[in-house]
Structure 1
Amino acid sequence: MHPILNDIRLISFDLDGTLVDSVPDLAAAVDKVLEEIPLPPAGEDKVSRWVGNGSLKLVERALTDALGSSPSQQHLEQGHSRFLYHYGQDVGSRTRLFPGVVEALEGLSAQGLHLTLVTNKPQAFIQPLLASLGLEGYFALCLGGDALPQKKPDPAPLLHVADHFGLSPSACLMVGDSRHDVAAGRAAGFRTLAVPYGYNHGEPVSDSRPDALVDSLAELVAPAANPFSARSRA
């Protein structure tokens, strides 16, 4: 097991950009909203830089980019409603697991760790997406971005998860792909681990100085030679 897991009893995973590459489905829904207005499509490259703060913020960024200015509240609410409709029609046909995810989840589950999901994706989409990818049996608790009044980078969702299992935050690890995940974990008192292949608004997640960085989540269940290797925070 990776040294970052020493004395860890619970792991909270981010979803989009950490476990799954969901941008193709998110971009398809965004572009359908823009087509209805009508406005030019955004495409996957732009959407990949807008993901991470929940669906409302994603739609706001898409409309602002297409309009050249911030949308009115009415247009934003209408656009968000249409996005939820379109994305709800197809949450997973183009979404794929990142390499190493299944190996990590299987290995960590075998160790008896509590595995949880803390994402800013709306709650209604989590179970259908997990089911489409065969991941629904791994997580003891899933929190979407609308499950609580606060979402990441606020630490409240992570503190809620720790409290749910009666654990100290110091016994918990946050795993994500963005500065929001690292900030939420740090503020909650969790250890933090990041993957560099996610979305993070086009910025290297290493700039946020997580406690450790792995190229693949499979490294969590593989032997490690050094306790906080060269890719750890130093």
Structure 2
Amino acid sequence: MSKIQLVQFDLDGTLIDSLPQLWQAVNLMLVELGFAQAPKQAVQHWVGNGADKLVERALTDALGHTPSEHEQQTARASFDAAYDSVAKHKVVLYPGVFETLNQLKAAGKTLALVTNKPYRFVPDILASAGLDEYFSHVLGGDSLAQKKPDPAPLLHVCQALNIAPEHSIMVGDSENDVLAAKAAGMRVVGVTYGYNYGRNIADSNPDWVLDNIEGLLDLLK
């Protein structure tokens, strides 16, 4: 693993526990639209494919059917406004994140962030969490035409930083991260403490499974 030069990270469920803010925003949206609030575990299972899918899943649950385009657009606007108001409040990092990022940087690794979260929310969240100085490249779910599990974002980062995919590794909590990395021709670490729709990340067959992100330091020695 000493040949790994670039470490690409997911955000939600990997570096930060964003579920409290996402849950709050979803419920603000649902209440504004006249629906009952959703339980936290339901929202946890809806997270992972970007804001459009999160909103669609919440609406489908509330309506009992797939929302119309108008219903989706109205709800997405409501969600964006709600999330904008809470996204950067009390951001919680998972144990070992600062230590891991600091030691990887000290070891000369290049770090990047590839999230399916809309980019407009990402800079403020990173700044609030104290993570804004760590990453050489940051992509949101709408930065390109494709998002994870498509490999395009991971390959875009490799190209932008002039590092071959075989010298990069992806770290995430979701099947999307595993599928994107494998399609991009890079190895992937799955962390067990994230969301992944309530499923065990090991079932997605990442190259390594870690219970704590600090395990990366041993892998990349």
- Return the TM-score normalized by structure 1: 0.92
Partner AA of 2:145 in structure 1: P
SS state of the match for residue 189, structure 2?
Answer: strand
Partner AA of 1:55 in structure 2: A
In structure 1, the residue matched to 2:77 is 81
In structure 2, the residue matched to 1:96 is 92
Select the residue among 30, 35, 46 that pairs with 2:31: 35
Select the residue among 102, 105, 113 that pairs with 1:109: 105
In structure 2, the residue matched to 1:206 is 202
SS state of the match for residue 217, structure 1?
Answer: coil
In structure 2, the residue matched to 1:153 is 149
Q: Answer yes or no: is the 8 Å Cα contact 1:108–1:221 preserved in 2.
A: yes
Q: 1:90-130 CA deviation, whole Å, 9 max, x = no partner?
A: 21224310111111100101011110000000001111001
1:109-128 matched pairs, under 5 angstroms? 109-128=105-124
Supply the distance in 1 between the matched residues of 2:43 and 2:182 (Cα, whole angstroms): 26
Q: Answer yes or no: is the 8 Å Cα contact 1:156–1:188 preserved in 2.
A: yes
Gap regions ≥5 residues in structure 2:
none
Supply the distance in 2 between the matched residues of 1:7 and 1:44 (Cα, whole angstroms): 41
Does 2:176 align with 1:180? yes
- Aligned-CA RMSD value: 1.3
In structure 2, the residue matched to 1:194 is 190
Q: Answer yes or no: is the 8 Å Cα contact 2:178–2:190 preserved in 1.
A: yes
Q: Answer yes or no: is the 8 Å Cα contact 2:91–2:128 preserved in 1.
A: no
- Return the TM-score normalized by structure 2: 0.97
Partner AA of 1:96 in structure 2: V
Does 2:182 align with 1:219? no
Q: 1:16-37 CA deviation, whole Å, 9 max, x = no partner?
A: 0000110110010110111011
Partner AA of 2:207 in structure 1: D
SS state of the match for residue 27, structure 1?
Answer: helix
1:45-60 matched pairs, under 5 angstroms? 45-60=41-56
Gap regions ≥5 residues in structure 1:
228-234
Task: Assess, with a 3 A threshold, how the Cα gap between structure 1 residues 45 and 95 changes in structure 2: closer, same or farther.
Answer: farther
Q: What is the aligned residue count?
A: 221
Determine what percentage of the aligned residue pairs are the same residue: 48
Task: Assess, with a 3 A threshold, how the Cα gap between structure 1 residues 42 and 94 changes in structure 2: closer, same or farther.
Answer: farther
Supply the distance in 2 between the matched residues of 1:63 and 1:95 (Cα, whole angstroms): 26
In structure 2, the residue matched to 1:44 is 40
